[in-house]
Structure 1
Amino acid sequence: AVLNGQRTVRTGSWQSDWAAIRHINIFFDNYRKCKAEFSEIRHTVGEAHFFRAWYYFGLLREYGDIPWYSSEIGLDDESELMRPRDPRILVADSILAELDKAIEFLDLRSRAGNNRISKEAALAFKTRVALFEGTWQKYHANSPFGTSGADPRRYFQACVSAAEELINGNYKRGIYSTGKPEEDYYQLFGFDNMNDIDEVLLYRSFNRSEGAGNAVQGYITYDMNQKGVTWELVSSYLGRNGKPYDYIGVSKVKKGNEFLLSIANECDPRLKSTVWIPGDLMSAELGKYFDRPTIDAGALQLNPTGFSVKKTANPNSPAAGRPWSVQAETGFIILRYGEVLLNYAEAGYELDRTVAFGALNQLRKRAGMPDFEVRPQQSDKNFTDYGYEIPDALYEIRRERRVELALEGHRDEDYRRWAAHALFKGKRPKGYPVSREEFPGYNRPVDANGLIDYYAGEMPSGYQFRPERDYLVSIPIDELTLNPNLKQNPGW
């Protein structure tokens, strides 16, 4: 709906958006009444600063500039309740200041653990926030979403400084690697217990015995859940030699499973860690192997693109190969060191055109890929058009980010901060080159290259994202009625 410009003006209130911040502000108004020594509650105060930053960043991403409240608002405090928005820079700087306080007060991860907020987690999150704000201010300049008093370099520097503190400081962090490039990246996302993995800076743990499980293994190893990886993502992976791979050329002579096997053998190993390949083990206990994509199935078993999601699978999980009702305990990574290295590389290049080869090569080495290399982007057989020119080095840094962080929930945030609607506006997500021998009765559309064009009927003109409006959501109408000092976002 977002990419297709189908969101409508919100009605009702945005009370739920602010509830967590209100609770945190009540804590800050009252925690000093605690009779315990500050050293005993120091970590808890740090967590509160972290979460105030976390929830405000969510509001900043969705709404843009918003009122900043650091104390509870009384029900009869009309002057506070009726405030206009604060400038975006004030909100962004306040979020970073909250994170600085969190970093000051929080325990190290060696004491807090990987599933509780720590100094390392706060530093990592600061790199994410600062990079988002710096790129938003840079790439939305002179647009309806431009920032008054924009200073993107200051935020790039904040990102670099936080990353360098984590990279060079005495912290527990690193890239997960056992020296097995065909396995390490894949295994990272499938563990239940991630407490001993240095790369995982913060994750959500699950425990079925406490009624807290998840359905991730069922959705990936049993049903495809009507989800599929797109051609656009797959074709962004380089070949194993570190050079652009001719996906279209190969697709003209190899179809279906043969195509999947070819790209698994000839491309960046992270690709076959992200997409199921024929012969892959899905469940050790059940002896279940991936046969072929379920492009002709119905209901939840459908995979519309032919590229089936594999990332986060664990064939040794008791839930693997079973329906989603059989709960798993697979950990969910929230912050990891690999992202920090990518944030550092991007912000560093935006700041002074320096390529962080050392940081990027840590990710390449884990995957068994050649060192990071900058080449003319026009030589890319699968050229990515951002709608504006960028340097070749930044083009490759963005590619590395897309590949390393694939399916981890960052892409939406990336295209928004880059103002990169040209990536998808007027286009449709495509699938793999279907084999008529494997699927003789397949009746969905394919394009001129033989790629599945599943959404040709539903979106004949491609995604209809509205760049003058859809980078932010609307403030609910009821809130504008209650507070005339609030102004609606552009285009709404």
Structure 2
Amino acid sequence: MNRYKKWFPDFGYTIMIACLLAFTGAGCNKSLDLKPLDQASDATYWKTPNDFKLAANAFYNYLRTFSQSNGDGHNGTDLGGDLSALARGTNTTVSTDGNYNTAYSWIRTINNLLAKANTYSSPNDIKQYVAEAKFFRAYVYFDKLLTSYGGVILVNELLGMNSPQLTAPRATRDSTINFIIADLQAAIPNLPLESAIAASDKGRVSQQAAQAFLGRVCLYEGTWQKFRNGDPARYNALLDMSVANSLAVINSNQYSLFKPSVLGDSALKYLFILENEKSNPAFITKSSNNEYILSVRYESNNLLKTIPNQISFGALGASVSRKMADMYLCSDGLPIDKTTTGFSRTLMTSEFQNRDNRMRYYMCIPFYRFWQNAVNYHINWNWSAADIAISRTFDPFANNVTGYGNQQWAAERQVPNSQEGYDYPTIRLAEVYLNYAEAVFERNGSIGDADLDKSLNLVRLRVNTDNAMPKLSNAFVAANGLDMRTEIRRERTIELQGEGFRMDDLKRWYTAVAEMDQPVLGIRYTGTQYATKYPTLNKPLTSSGDVIADAAGNRQFSQKNYLIPLPLDQLQLNPNLTQNPGW
């Protein structure tokens, strides 16, 4: 690590200037709900390793999940019918920001555990929970703060109400990233291997989870700097670190892609709705999923940990944009403008034919049969007449602005809304494979076939065995006039399209303005079966006859939108804070 010393200094004796925010805490574990643990007296708490473990349990509520995002929305993108202000770039400054306040409240809670650990008599007995605290502090700083606001105030100690540091300026972006990296590096050695975590503790942060997250952080910032003409020594060091940590996870052999042979190419569909109740035709339960490295875990019979929204009900049929639909390759491995498979939009089902299988498992094919939790659930999974009779079909314009629909996250068994028992993948192996491939390419300007085969191609071919889609290789790219960077980004976008990566990706690639300012388009209407099926469709069309779900004039994403504004109340409380550019 000596060659990184310039960029990633030791934080062991560095006192970070901080601000104090009031503690607000909640946890699903009843022991953590009794009282705020940072107000518990030494006589009642912080006396045993189990006290630290129970306190660390609260941190798991900080992970991104179905309803918990960050300041710039994560999911507000160009891949669906998103008409929000964040997606359009029309958001404005706000008086107060719950995301910002919550993040610092969480950081205070984490710092409290670390402060108590400093005086604990047997530090070796609590080193895992100290490591978890450092992981989560890095997680909050990255996922809730840096990706939204850039450099922010760094807090690594508990402060009093009159601490002079409360009016400190925000740290630089480099210092914020260095702080995050230092916490993760300190956490990794004291976290357990996934295989060493007891069954009763499954779901806790593993060493590989911290390495995978460090790989994500370094890829994000390395590309952010690279595409903004930053210092090559700086961004190459970050990319090297991303490669090394992602490879460490891959080589650990602790995880594997979910692809049970009995499910065939439908494995990806059932991965996201896998429950311990019968949620798939083979009655495979969550114990067979070794792909999730870190996840938010839900169980149908645990009313303290229920999915927070009507996920199944809202997922089936939710709008998908034309850009997303066109991104899927054809079965010959080529995009729709290069394929030899006879791509067509004439019939409503035409463009779904001879495509990457992920298209038919992530999206809804018009008027095909689908099953949904509330009313249209599977009764036996044998596709009998009775099973089909209770299903529903996807009507492209029943409750949809683009005509394209989503099916990811929609449970197929009978289960009430908010009581589904499938998990949310905070980090999964497929992302690590894709992080590795991209980091190698961006670091070297190229990637060898061997590296593609041990990463990206495993993801690409997981659900494309029946159509014999070719691997991505340098020869294939050259022979077909493709661009390797474009294809690496395509694979990432397709595989992770429903997991909140797109906005962050567009921002770090420095392409958000170009992509987010485009109109959101839907299906091709003119000259197709759609015009016959919906002769009175009252939607604006392009000159080519494509549905306009959101016109270009509504999209005003600009340079300032790469970061969101700091809340005005914080600027008033601390005169040394500076606002983000353009706000």
| Pair 1:254–1:244, CA change in 2 (3 A) | closer
Distance 1:259 1:42 in 2: 58
Q: Deviations over 1:214-262 (max 9, x none)?
A: 22222234xx4xx31111011011101111224999999644xx333x3
SS in 2 for 1:217: helix
Distance 2:421 2:358 in 1: 23
Which residue is 1:471 aligned to?
Answer: 562
| Pair 1:379–1:447, CA change in 2 (3 A) | farther
Q: Please give the residue correspondences for 1:243-258 in structure 2 after superposition, counting only pairs within 5 Å.
A: 243-246=334-337, 254-255=345-346, 258=347
Would you say the 8 A contact 1:135–1:417 is kept in 2?
Answer: yes
Would you say the 8 A contact 2:370–2:393 is kept in 1?
Answer: no
| Pair 1:244–1:460, CA change in 2 (3 A) | closer
1:440 Cα offset (Å): 2.5
Q: Deviations over 1:39-91 (max 9, x none)?
A: 4322211210110001110211111111211111211111x111112221121
Would you say the 8 A contact 2:404–2:523 is kept in 1?
Answer: yes
Equivalent of 2:275, from 176, 189, 192? Answer: 192
SS in 2 for 1:209: coil
Q: TM-score, normalised by structure 2?
A: 0.72
Would you say the 8 A contact 2:332–2:339 is kept in 1?
Answer: no
Distance 1:479 1:284 in 2: 51
- Aligned-partner residue type, residue 462 of structure 2: R
Distance 1:102 1:114 in 2: 18
Equivalent of 1:360, from 456, 467, 476? Answer: 456
Equivalent of 2:393, from 285, 291, 295? Answer: 291
Q: Deviations over 1:81-112 (max 9, x none)?
A: 11112221121011111111221111222315
| Pair 1:414–1:4, CA change in 2 (3 A) | same
Would you say the 8 A contact 1:115–1:205 is kept in 2?
Answer: yes
Q: Is 1:351 aligned with 2:443?
A: yes
Would you say the 8 A contact 2:330–2:341 is kept in 1?
Answer: no
Which residue is 1:305 aligned to?
Answer: 402
Distance 1:392 1:114 in 2: 41
SS in 2 for 1:440: coil
Equivalent of 2:182, from 97, 103, 124? Answer: 97
- Aligned-partner residue type, residue 82 of structure 1: T
Which residue is 2:509 aligned to?
Answer: 418
Which residue is 2:384 aligned to?
Answer: none
- Aligned-partner residue type, residue 360 of structure 1: L
Q: Please give the residue correspondences for 1:195-234 in structure 2 after superposition, counting only pairs within 5 Å.
A: 195-211=287-303, 212-214=305-307, 215-221=310-316, 224=317, 227-234=318-325
Would you say the 8 A contact 1:213–1:327 is kept in 2?
Answer: yes
1:292 Cα offset (Å): 3.3
1:210 Cα offset (Å): 2.7
Which residue is 2:77 aligned to?
Answer: none
SS in 1 for 2:295: strand
SS in 1 for 2:212: helix
1:293 Cα offset (Å): 2.5
Which residue is 1:383 aligned to?
Answer: none
Would you say the 8 A contact 1:364–1:370 is kept in 2?
Answer: no
Would you say the 8 A contact 1:230–1:307 is kept in 2?
Answer: yes
Distance 2:396 2:370 in 1: 16
| Pair 1:293–1:246, CA change in 2 (3 A) | farther
Equivalent of 2:329, from 238, 243, 265? Answer: 238
Would you say the 8 A contact 1:181–1:366 is kept in 2?
Answer: no
Q: Please give the residue correspondences for 1:318-467 in structure 2 after superposition, counting only pairs within 5 Å.
A: 318-319=414-415, 324=417, 327-355=419-447, 356-358=451-453, 359-368=455-464, 369-374=469-474, 392-434=483-525, 435-455=530-550, 459-467=551-559
Q: CA RMSD in A?
A: 2.7
Which residue is 1:160 aligned to?
Answer: 243
Would you say the 8 A contact 1:67–1:83 is kept in 2?
Answer: yes
Which residue is 1:19 aligned to?
Answer: 105
Distance 2:359 2:129 in 1: 40
1:415 Cα offset (Å): 0.4
| Pair 1:195–1:20, CA change in 2 (3 A) | farther
Would you say the 8 A contact 1:63–1:475 is kept in 2?
Answer: yes
Which residue is 1:384 aligned to?
Answer: none
| Pair 1:124–1:478, CA change in 2 (3 A) | same
SS in 2 for 1:210: coil
SS in 2 for 1:335: strand
Q: Deviations over 1:402-457 (max 9, x none)?
A: 111111110011001111024424421111224122223321122233322122xx
1:149 Cα offset (Å): 9.3
Would you say the 8 A contact 2:256–2:291 is kept in 1?
Answer: yes
Which residue is 1:385 aligned to?
Answer: none
Higher mean C-alpha displacement, 430-439 vs 398-407: 430-439
1:138 Cα offset (Å): 1.3
- Aligned-partner residue type, residue 168 of structure 1: N
1:148 Cα offset (Å): 8.1
| Pair 1:445–1:10, CA change in 2 (3 A) | same
Equivalent of 2:257, from 175, 195, 204? Answer: 175
| Pair 1:216–1:248, CA change in 2 (3 A) | farther
1:318 Cα offset (Å): 2.1
- Gaps spanning 5+ residues in structure 2: where? 1-84, 277-285, 372-376, 380-386
Which residue is 2:167 aligned to?
Answer: 82
Would you say the 8 A contact 1:276–1:290 is kept in 2?
Answer: no
1:330 Cα offset (Å): 2.0
Would you say the 8 A contact 1:424–1:463 is kept in 2?
Answer: no
| Pair 1:11–1:422, CA change in 2 (3 A) | closer
Would you say the 8 A contact 1:192–1:205 is kept in 2?
Answer: no
Higher mean C-alpha displacement, 446-455 vs 131-140: 446-455
Q: Is 1:270 aligned with 2:358?
A: yes
- Aligned-partner residue type, residue 368 of structure 2: G
1:30 Cα offset (Å): 0.9
Would you say the 8 A contact 1:216–1:330 is kept in 2?
Answer: no
Distance 1:437 1:38 in 2: 72
Q: Is 1:65 aligned with 2:161?
A: no
Q: Is 1:9 aligned with 2:93?
A: yes
Q: Deviations over 1:123-142 (max 9, x none)?
A: 1111111101101111123x
Distance 1:106 1:280 in 2: 46
- Aligned-partner residue type, residue 404 of structure 2: F
- The aligned length equals 453
Would you say the 8 A contact 1:251–1:259 is kept in 2?
Answer: no
Distance 2:184 2:148 in 1: 20
Distance 1:248 1:109 in 2: 42
Would you say the 8 A contact 1:293–1:307 is kept in 2?
Answer: no
- Gaps spanning 5+ residues in structure 1: where? 142-146, 381-390
Distance 2:576 2:300 in 1: 48
SS in 2 for 1:266: coil
| Pair 1:293–1:378, CA change in 2 (3 A) | farther
- Aligned-partner residue type, residue 129 of structure 1: V
